[in-house]
Every structure is written in structure tokens, then in C-alpha cells.
Structure 1
Amino acid sequence: MAADLTGIRAYEIAQAASQGAAGSNQATETAGQKFTEMVQGALESTNASLVQAEQLTASAAIGETELVDVVTAVAAAEVQLETVMAVRDEVIRAYNDILKMPI
């Protein structure tokens, strides 16, 4: 009888652990999705800034836009692009650090 209770208890512990692992996987997936959405939003915003700067440059070439507006738009796009590149470099560096970790 005691052996049966020990087996049942071991089964309950294994079930709880597997449910905990499933919950952990779901939390990881949710965090991964949020991170993906954040990165995608940053890339879209940067792309929009670059497109706007390009459009202002083209309109300045034909005399429709002031040069100050073009310089401001290009500077803002440059700052956003540098930020995205810095984040990319840090993500790559973190990934490489994780690969170097002992298992």
C-alpha cells in the first residue's frame, strides 16, 4: 500500500512538473512574441523615417521643400537607423554569449 502511495505521489509530482514546464514555455513564447513585435515596430518606424527623408530630399531637389526640413528628416532617420543597428549588435552579442555558455 505504501509503495502504491509513493508511486501515485511520484506521478503527481511529474504531472505538476510537466504542467509547470508547459506554463514556462507559454510565458517564453509570449515574451518572444512581444519582443518580435517591438523589433518589428522599430524597424517599421525606421523605414518610415527613411522613406520620409527620401521624399523630402526629392521634393527639395525640385524646390518644393526647404533644405532645413530635409536636413532635420535625414538626421532623425540617421539616429533611428543607428539605434536599430546598435540594438541588432547587442542582440547578436548576447546570442554569441549564450552559445559560449556551458551546458
Structure 2
Amino acid sequence: MTINAFGAGAYAATQNLVGLGAKKAPGGTAGAGAAGGAGEFGGLLKGALDGVGQTGRKAEMQMASAAAGKADIVDVVTAVAESEAALETLVAVRDRVIAAYEEIMRMPI
């Protein structure tokens, strides 16, 4: 896989995740819940998603600069690696949240 194809795939994946995080809940606001801390958690989650998206955009800009001959390949590889690490971290957190939800759903009432 080329650096451009990898970067484009990672960027598209982060944009999809950011889009999912920005959708509003049926109650009106994204991340709003019955507890006061729910909005704070939603804001924290949205900030993390925005950070991953920003990292992907930075990698994409570095790749475009390298294609134009204005950036060093080391900078491009570094930006893509940062984007990959951010995306992998986000996926790991998502997996842990899903596992916690599934465990809660298995608890007897």
C-alpha cells in the first residue's frame, strides 16, 4: 500500500468516526444524558475525535506538500505514523467501550 493510499484511507476512517461522534442524540444534544457528567464525557469524546481528524488532515497536507516537492519524506512518514497511532488508539478505546457496554448488558437486574 502506498503512503498516499494509506493516508487517504486513514483520513476517510477518521472522518467517518468524527461524523458518527457529531450526530445528535434523540434528546437534542450530542452526548447529553440524565447525569450532569454525561455532557462532559461527550465533549471529551468529541475533542478526541476532532484531534484524530486533525492529525489525519495534517498527514494529508504533508503528503500533498511532498507530492509538490515542498516537504521532506521524513516529515510525511512521521505525520502518517502519528495519524496511524491516533487512529489505532481511538479504535482500541472504542473496542473497550463496546466491551464495557456488553458486560453491563449481561448484568442481572
Q: TM above 0.5, one fold?
A: yes
State the partner residue of 2:31. Answer: none
Q: How far apart in 2 are the matches of 1:31 and 1:86?
A: 23
Runs of 4+ in 1 over 3 A off after TM superposition: none
Identity %, equivalent residues:
46
**Are 2:90 and 1:84 equivalent residues in the alignment?**
yes
Q: What is the identity, as a one-letter code, of the residue corresponding to 1:50?
A: G
Question: Alignment partner of 1:84: what SS?
Answer: helix
1:40 aligns with 2:40: no
Name 2:7's counterpart in structure 1. Answer: none
Question: 1:64-95: CA deviations, max 9, x gaps?
Answer: 11001001111111111111111000000000
- Which residues of structure 2 form unaligned runs of 5+? 1-33
Unaligned ranges ≥5, structure 1:
1-27
Shift of 1:101: 0.5
Per residue, is there more helix in 1 or in 2?
1
TM-score by length of 1: 0.71
TM-score normalised to structure 2 length: 0.67
- Greater RCO (Cα-Cα under 8 Å, separation 6 or more): 2
Aligned length: 77
